[in-house]
Structure 1
Amino acid sequence: MPVFAAIAVLALLIVVHELGHFMAARLQGIHVNRFSLGFGPILWKYQGSETEYAIRAFPLGGFVGFPDDDPDSDIPPEDPNLLRNRPILDRAIVISAGVIANLLFAYLLLATQLGLVGVQEFNYQPGVLVPQVASEVSSAALKAGIKAGDIILLADGQPLKASKEAIPKLMEVIQNNPNQPIPLSVERQGQIISLTVTPQPGSDGKGRIGVQLAPSGKVVRRHLKNPVEVLTTAATKYQEFVVLTAQGFIQLISNFGETADQVAGPVKIVELGASIAKSDAANLFQFAALISINLAIINILPLPALDGGQLAFLLIEGLRGKPLPTQIQDGIMQTGLMLLLGLGIFLIVRDTANLAWVQNLLQ
């Protein structure tokens, strides 16, 4: 079920994007003859009064088709409601509507989650949790008797209060005391015990004890009081998502060699979504919002076969006073589409090979 939920989320976001193009065209009276989810061979289709609706074999996106260059279309070439015969502004609205739809839908998802289940907050408790202790024999924590699940309440006589500053404070005590015994007060299964740990100096000279640290407490959901708080909180969260996503793309472009392996395809996205759905289905709203913003930013990039590439053609047309020759546009778009499909297939194969159950089969 978590996998199907994640697939449904991805399919919904593609539908939203293509629906943006479709509605922007239909509301302006522009002819649309195809609405497709996926590429390649048709698995299912329905013929409406003007538009063919279809689901295709390769789920790497979708498209809205126009009868402008369809040899089987009975619409006269000079029809003013063909997309190519419309002013540049009308065409720009149609092309950019998919991106706008994804951005608006992302905000709607965040507002819906906040309205239904509230905002997720961390309720801090005193101390710092130790989720894991290094298994090496030389580990200072292992020698001191620290165990996974312990909560460190005091370090060198300094209390670790219920706040996000508890972890930095404990790290400061450990790092500043290499080879010096540090008395600890630890809560273990409801009992308070005293331990002494002696940090070992690392390569930088700072103390290390060989543990993972996590805040002590639990995640809680706070229901928001009124619609205004829901909308303003959603706007703040939305702004954070957009900024983080944009920064991620800037880092990817500026440092592609080191960050290229972080690019995720449909399989990886579904895997992440399934994991989120399994642990907390309510967080699928945030997951979907983040993916929707990513889809919007990807599509607005000025690359062939993407919405940004088509907008670039319109910009050139506006500057030249006439469009680029059809042969040039078609060649660029077809090349871009082949590269995009090739990248999509590569990501699917790579991410599938990295799935845990596939790795187990290969061992």
Structure 2
Amino acid sequence: GFPDDDPDSDIPANDPNLLRNRPLLDRAIVISAGVIANLIFAYFLLVVQVSVIGFQQINYHPGVTVAGIADNLSTAAGKAGIQANDIVLAVDNEELGSAKPAIVKLMAEIQTHPERPLTFKIQRGAETIDLQVTPDANAEGKGQIGVKLAPNADIIIDRSISPIDALVKGANEFERVVVLTFQGLSQLVTNFGETATQIAGPIKIVEIGSSIASNNIAGLLQFGALISINLAVMNILPLPALDGGQLAFLLFEGLAGKPLPMKIQETVMQTGLFLLLGLGVFLVIRDTANLSSVQQFFK
């Protein structure tokens, strides 16, 4: 809290040490302190993780791995002779490539060819074989073969070898997360209809965090860094009720040579606060209703 905001303060209004009477740069630094603290904390978390645990990196290889197969020889995969841990390299002589798009491409080929034969190029151990697979048609008329697919990839743990290396690798990961955050924000603005449903409130964040803690507690540090960076980025946006909104007022003051009238500033900030609280309440209600435990209760 600042004495500027205390109506009962006995400090004279023209005291040069009140925040509102300080130079523009001083006020900008104070207002930005929360954002700066979020960024420093996120970087600290990433440095600790790469020093103690390391970062998980995925090394993709060509093709798609058959992670599991239905225990039923009557499925298309069973009839064709596909086995668990087989790697599908190509379909009808068209290479699938590497990374996640390979799964999307394979699934699209299967779903669009119900009751129509496809030639799978399979890597099984050291040998490569061709198998003819005829997807079954599901209730929706799409093809299915009865397998569980996964990327063909290895997980590598990248851990720092020295304090300097930890600082460098932490900085690289920090840059990557910041870029991803801005990309996600850009998608929210340019494609709001499809991405708005992915906005998460406090309830959803806790649910995701608890899921990470139960499956891979090491990922909590990166998740914490992600949240902290997101808070910093959102808070610096020039929106009312956020630090970015206050900085926008300072920018106007610097360009115009005088501040906006206090009445206008208060109206803008109060309106922004009302909208922000309304959004927060909406997200809490929506995320609570979507919790699996709540949905089970009403079943």
TM superposition score normalised by structure 2: 0.80
1:343 to 275, 279, 289: 279
The 5 Å alignment of 1:200-239 reads 200=135, 209=145, 211-215=147-151, 219-239=155-175
**Is the aligned partner of 1:249 residue 2:179?**
no
2: CA distance, partners of 1:126 / 1:301:
41
Counterpart CA distance in 2 for 1:281 and 1:346 is: 29
* Distance of 1:84 and 1:146 partners within structure 2: 72
For residues 42-97 of structure 1, give each alpha carbon's deviation from its aligned partner in whole angstroms, at most 9, with x where no partner exists: xxxxxxxxxxxxxxxxxxxxxxx212131221222122111111111110111112
2:48 corresponds in structure 1 to: 112
Any conservation in 2 of the 1:304–1:335 contact (CA below 8 Å)?
yes
2:117 aligned partner: 179
Amino acid at match of 2:117: N
Please give the per-residue CA displacement for 1:269-315, whole angstroms capped at 9, x wherever unaligned. Answer: 11111111111111111001111111011001111000110001111
The 3-state SS of whatever aligns with 1:305 is coil
Q: Structure 1 residues 199, 106: CA separation in 2 closer, same or farther (over 3 Å shift)?
A: farther
Identity %: 55
Note closer, same or farther for the CA distance 1:180–1:295 as it changes in structure 2 (3 Å cut). Answer: closer
**Does the C-alpha gap of structure 1 residues 246 and 80 become closer, same or farther in structure 2, counting only changes over 3 Å?**
same
> Quick check: 1:127–1:152 contact (8 Å CA) kept in 2?
no
Amino acid at match of 2:194: E
* Aligned residue in 1 for 2:294: 358
Contact 1:151-1:216 at 8 Å conserved across structures: no
Q: Which amino acid aligns with 1:321?
A: G
Tell me how far 1:317 sits from its aligned partner: 1.1
Residue 152 (structure 1) aligned to one of 81, 86, 99: 86
Q: CA separation in 1, counterparts of 2:209 and 2:57? A: 21
- Partner residue in 2 for 1:270: 206
Across the aligned residues of Structure 1 and Structure 2, the Cα RMSD in angstroms comes to: 3.6
Aligned with 1:198 (options 130, 133, 143): 133
Check conservation: 1:276, 1:284, Cα contact below 8 A: yes
Any idea what SS the aligned residue of 1:130 has?
Answer: strand
Matched, 1:289 2:235: no
User: Normalising to structure 1: TM-score of the pair?
Assistant: 0.67
Report what 1:130 is aligned to: 66
- Per-residue deviation, 1:211: 3.5
Question: Which of 57, 82, 85 is equivalent to 2:18?
Answer: 82
